Amino acid sequence: MKKITVRTKAAKKLRAGYPLLVAEDLNSPFLEDDFAQFFDEKGQALGTGYLSKQNKGVGWLLDSSSVKIDHHFYVEKFVNARALRANFYQDELTNAFRLFNGEGDGLGGLTIDFYNGFAVFSWYNQFIYSQKKAIVKAFQVVFPDIKGAYEKLRFSEAALESQHIFGQEAAEPLLVMENGVTYATYLNEGLMTGIFLDQKNVRGALAGGLSTGKTLLNMFSYTGAFSVAAAFGGSSQTTSVDLAKRSLDKTREQFLVNGIEPESQKIYVMDVFGYFNYAKKKELTYDMIVLDPPSFARNGKKTFSVAKNYGDLVKEAVEILENNGTLIASTNAANVSDKKFRQMIEEALKNKGVKFTVFQEEKLPADFHIADSFPEGNYLKVLFIKIKK
């Protein structure tokens, strides 16, 4: 195991249980991915982990002792993760949720999701992927009931995005249930499956009746999951807008698997800003509008980023929202804090001269278990806002 010295400031962070290492924490760049024992500049041991570049950071602290990261270590993490989610296994209305949430369950760089009997592994760096054999073996000891598994390779050096790894192959689509609503998923189509499991609570609120009797506009709708939840919960009509051509068939399918006639709903393959203009021209208004954009997006020459442009979305939405309507403002952008997100929205609403009340707020659901020492792991931000014009 490599011995790695970290700078004084970083040592303080690691001692407090903060699990992520960034390049500035190290005195010199590391040359190869490996397990590591971390020390402060006085030679005091800080714990065990590994170094490997990923989207965020260059490595993870896994344990504050000098424990060996082996089969027993992985088994223990999986046993704890399973116990934490006991009530999710007993929920008869939900069979899709996160089984294992990376650093929140003590192993940064790996997440595992449960889809109606199947598991989907996401590997976030090359080194954790090199430990796949040992990790999957330990997983199968703790989860012998999993029928089959797939993996997503979410690091830049990866040669492929998605493949089957063991057991049975899942049906296509694989139907999963969440709060009584059915969703069609595809476990082996690129990095995405058709549903973002982190939005469970928002879909749950819609399916549970928040939009009963109301019209709902779902912007950046992807496979229309929010629209389907709203229609299931009694929304009078949903409108889904997404730029991607695939979203049309995928959204129709989500309605069909719930016994909802897709023709009774509206689905547009369109740029959201184009749709705002269209709606204004046609004088269309909505009781509820969901805004859930990707952190960054490009459409031709135009770029959109949550950090810079979320306020523009809010302003546009206000124009076509009914008086006393509800805006559901959501983002998963990790580079935008809860505080900044709220500020951007409040500024846009004040600029529009409307009165508003935030009446509900959602963060990640409980199956996305977060380490107390790493609150930024809770990247999801959703505000439900009532707007008076």
Region binding ligand SAH by CB under 6 A among candidate stretches 60-68, 218-226, 249-257, 355-363: 218-226
Q: Which residue of 115, 121, 124, 222 would you call a contact of ligand SAH, by CB under 6 A?
A: 222
Query: Per this entry, what is the length of the chain?
Result: 389
Q: Which residue of 100, 139, 226, 384 would you call a contact of ligand SAH, by CB under 6 A?
A: 226
Task: Tell me the closest approach of the beta carbon of residue 309 to ligand SAH, in angstroms.
Answer: 10
Site for ligand SAH contains 225 (CB under 6 A): yes
Task: Tell me the closest approach of the beta carbon of residue 263 to ligand SAH, in angstroms.
Answer: 21
Binding pattern for the stretch 261-300 against ligand SAH, x by CB under 6 A and - elsewhere: ----------xx-------------------x-x--x-x-
Which one, 270 or 366, has the nearer CB to ligand SAH? 270
Which one, 66 or 299, has the nearer CB to ligand SAH? 299
Task: Tell me the closest approach of the beta carbon of residue 334 to ligand SAH, in angstroms.
Answer: 15
Which one, 34 or 161, has the nearer CB to ligand SAH? 161
* 3-class DSSP string for the chain: CEEEEECHHHHHHHHCCCCEECHHHECCCCCCCEEEEEECCCCCEEEEEEECCECCCCEEEEECCCCCCCHHHHHHHHHHHHHHCHHHHHCCCCCEEEEEEHHHHCCCCEEEEEECCEEEEEECEHHHHHCHHHHHHHHHHHCCCCCEEEEEECCCCCCCCEEEEEECCCCCCEEEEECCEEEEECCCCCCCCCCCHHHHHHHHHHHHHHCCCCEEEEECCCCCHHHHHHHHCCCCEEEEEECCCHHHHHHHHHHHCCCCCHHHCEEEECCHHHHHHHHHHCCCCEEEEEECCCCEEEECCEEEEHHHHHHHHHHHHHHCEEEEEEEEEEECCCCCCHHHHHHHHHHHHHHCCCEEEEEEEECCCCCCCCCCCCHHHCCCEEEEEEEEC
Which one, 125 or 265, has the nearer CB to ligand SAH? 265
Task: Tell me the closest approach of the beta carbon of residue 327 to ligand SAH, in angstroms.
Answer: 14
Task: Tell me the closest approach of the beta carbon of residue 302 to ligand SAH, in angstroms.
Answer: 8
Which one, 129 or 304, has the nearer CB to ligand SAH? 304
Backbone angles phi, psi at 101, to 5 degrees: -115, 60
Task: Tell me the closest approach of the beta carbon of residue 316 to ligand SAH, in angstroms.
Answer: 12
Task: Tell me the closest approach of the beta carbon of residue 58 to ligand SAH, in angstroms.
Answer: 28
Task: Tell me the closest approach of the beta carbon of residue 40 to ligand SAH, in angstroms.
Answer: 42
Written as one letter, the residue type at 107 is: L
Site for ligand SAH contains 312 (CB under 6 A): no
Q: Which residue of 199, 215, 251, 331 would you call a contact of ligand SAH, by CB under 6 A?
A: 199
**What tokens does 304 get?**
């959109």
Site for ligand SAH contains 113 (CB under 6 A): no
CB 230 within 8 A of CB 204: no
Region binding ligand SAH by CB under 6 A among candidate stretches 96-104, 150-158, 222-230, 339-347: 222-230
Q: How far apart are alpha carbons 341 and 328 in whole angstroms?
A: 13
Written as one letter, the residue type at 162 is: S
Task: Tell me the closest approach of the beta carbon of residue 298 to ligand SAH, in angstroms.
Answer: 8
CB 273 within 8 A of CB 320: no
Site for ligand SAH in 241-260 (CB under 6 A): 241-244, 247
Which one, 125 or 240, has the nearer CB to ligand SAH? 240
Task: Tell me the closest approach of the beta carbon of residue 92 to ligand SAH, in angstroms.
Answer: 24
What is the binding site for ligand SAH (CB under 6 A)? 196, 199, 220-222, 225-226, 241-244, 247, 271-272, 292, 294, 297, 299, 304
